[in-house]
Amino acid sequence: MRFIKILFLVFVSVNVAGQGVIPKPYYDVRNGATYSFSELNIQYPEECSIEAHYLQKELASRNFKVNFNSSSSYNTKIVFVVEPRHGVQPDWYRIQSDSDIIISAISSQGIFHGIQTLLQLIGTEKGSFKLQHLLLYDQPRFKWRGMHLDCSRHFFDTDFIKKYIDLLALHKMNTFHWHLTDDQGWRIEIKKYPLLTKIGSQRKETIIEKNFEPYKGDGKLYGGFYTQEQIKEVVAYAKERYITVVPEIEMPGHAVAALSAYPQFSCQQQPLETLTTWGISDDIFCSKDSTFNFIFDILDEVLELFPSKYIHIGGDEAPKVRWKECSHCKANIKKHNLKDEHELQSYFIGRVDSFLNSKGRKTIGWDEILEGGLAENAAVMSWRGEKGGIEAAQQKHNVVMSPGSHCYFDHYQGDKKTEPLAIGGYTPLKKVYSFNPIPKELDKKYHEYILGAQGNLWTEYIATPEHLLYMALPRMCALSEVLWSGAGKYSYEDFTSRLISHFDLLDSLGYNYSTALFNIEGKSITENGKLSIALQSDFPEYEIRFTTNSDEPNATSTLYKAPIVIDKNLMLKARLFKNGKAKGNLFSQEYKYHLAVGKKITLSNPPSESYNTGGAQTLINGVVGSLPWSGNEWLGWRGKPMNATIDLGELKDIKKVKIS
């Protein structure tokens, strides 16, 4: 262990084939010599047979000649070595490269992670590649490195699920959170209750975009579900890639699809239809005993399919309207000496938690399961900011951080004028990379309860694999490095320099991704009662060219050198250029000049953490917020009123005030 610590002090980055390795490992460069590899002979112990054949398949797809445990004249050996080593994690691995390549680990799990790094080092090379002589050690910072996928709002077939799992494996993520049930669709076959898929997996149509009022549907029947055999296949596929599949069966809320099939388990016991719109329904599972028997029967079959230690039971966004009116729920509150419906939810979660514990499993749920008291052995997935995660960790419960501010990849990642329709919010790549799963307010003695974090992909407005990948990438790449390497280990500039080469690998593997990181950002600057706009890019080697007369900028437009003063109405357009060629999307923003532009504004209550992009100046920066909502144009308050004071600096006659 002492030897390893010494090596860590001298690890530096290497310019080799596939230099876009993400998440970035540590390197110890011994010399600048490079070796060519083409014909490869994989030598492995029997316990690494699956990994050896996985590598052979991946190399064959890149046109390499590969043999196994051969004494032939193949000029390069890739050797797997599994050996005990004290003081390292199960994921730890080492790669040594000279005339041969040796991947060492304490388990086949570490060998697999070493393979992923090797494949990224090879990059897009086919048939042969050059690799610098290096010695590389690596292991992760966090235990839970996850990605979520909602297959209830929109359904994705098993071929795509496997492709998604491959993407997680490439980035050394180890948890796939599979959201299988919700108001808009039940996606898992339960043999004891066939109506769940016969009725609950279907909805008569789907809302078109955000046409809620008046409602507008597409008139097309929508559905799909996974058979138990398909689920077993996916779980086995993930297991070979050292990814745990954690299923989510939503309760007590987000249950309309289940209740449309079996309305007797609702409070009103009236016919229901699987929802065709997005949002929250008042209809949730009733707290009567027959409902629990129904849920336990479902979970019995779920546990047969998923060997994961944790089972996700949702627990979020469960309105208490029906419970307040329900004779069964009122009786339960009285019978169990509960204070109110919030404690009834805690009782509900507690019963399910006890059932899962009796089967040797553990419960994990969204942070609402804290309300009314947290079940004894439950873990919390904190999505409404960090508060729930902090509270759970302080109670010595395990936590997975997934705050909407940094980990919701269904949010916009660039200017919504150039982005596909999203649910709202604004979570650019740089913000994801800045995320630290351990809250700064959390005392060090509770850090051990933060298992890690995950990115969430809700699919209300994501209907195709191409769109889903566009929303996931490259934000998943950023999160993977935060979780593997540790927050703040490397600079954002270092990350993006590798990401550009990494894009070539994603292209070769057929993964769609966003290039919004090349977008220009317009940052408001207020000085001496005046507003100016600073145009910023993450790539200083590119020029910014702009116009203020509504013309499209080209390679000969005005070169940006200093912030642009907003003292009249103007349309500002800008684009990146390098060697005369445009890069990224067009920046286009109309600024409306008014008396408050650039003036002092104070807020008596700060906006909610998830709705505070740009700060108070967002309200008076000359940009008029538009619908559908996007987080970089609006501020939002939750639970406290919005109260703003604008100081114009001197007495002014005001003839009109406009807000929206």
* Bridge partners, 101 (sequence order): 78, 97
Burial 255-266 (b: 16+ CB within 10 A, else e): bbbbbbbbeebb
- Maximal CA-CA distance, the chain: 91
Q: 12: which residues sit within 8 A by CB, 6+ positions away?
A: 27, 28, 29
Which residue in 91, 125, 138, 182 is the catalytic one?
A: 182
Structure tokens at 454: 């995950």
In total, the chain counts a number of residues equal to: 660
Residues 461 and 448: their CA atoms lie apart, in Å, by: 36
Contacts for 655 with CB less than 8 Å, ≥ 6 apart: none
Distance CA(238)–CA(240), nearest Å, equals 5
Q: Which of 274, 308, 253 is nearest to 186 (CA)?
A: 274
Active site residue 133: no
Pair of tokens at residue 3: 């030897």
> Could you give phi then psi for residue 413, rounded to 5 degrees?
-120, 0
Distance CA 234, CA 189 (A): 14
The HSE-up count of residue 523 (CA atoms within 13 Å, CB side) is 7
Beta bridge partners of 39: 65
- The token pair at 650 is 């001197």
Beta strand pairing call for 39-43 and 76-82 = parallel
Contacts of 322 (CB under 8 A, 6+ apart): 266, 267, 268, 282, 283, 284, 286, 329
Q: Tokens for 197?
A: 């898929």
Q: Which member of 179, 254, 312, 397 is catalytic?
A: 254
DSSP state letter for 456: B
Q: Would you call 476 helix, strand, or coil by DSSP?
A: helix
3-state secondary structure 146-204: EEEEECCCCCCCHHHHHHHHHHHHHCCCCEEEEECEECCEECECCCCCCHHHHCCCEEC
Residue with tokens 């009782």: 347
Active-site residue flag, 254: yes
Strand 581-591 and strand 521-527: the pairing is unpaired
What number of other Cβ atoms are within 10 A of residue 171's Cβ? 23
Burial of 95 (0-12, 13-18, 19+ CB in 10 A): buried
Q: How far is CA 342 from CA 275, 315, 392, 613, 660, in A?
A: 25, 11, 17, 32, 34
User: Alpha-carbon distance 159 to 153, whole Å?
Assistant: 18
Whether the ω angle into residue 263 lies within 30 degrees of 0, i.e. cis, is no
Reply yes or no on whether 317 is catalytic: yes
Euclidean distance between CA atoms 91 and 105, whole angstroms: 8
Residues annotated catalytic, as ranges: 182, 254, 317
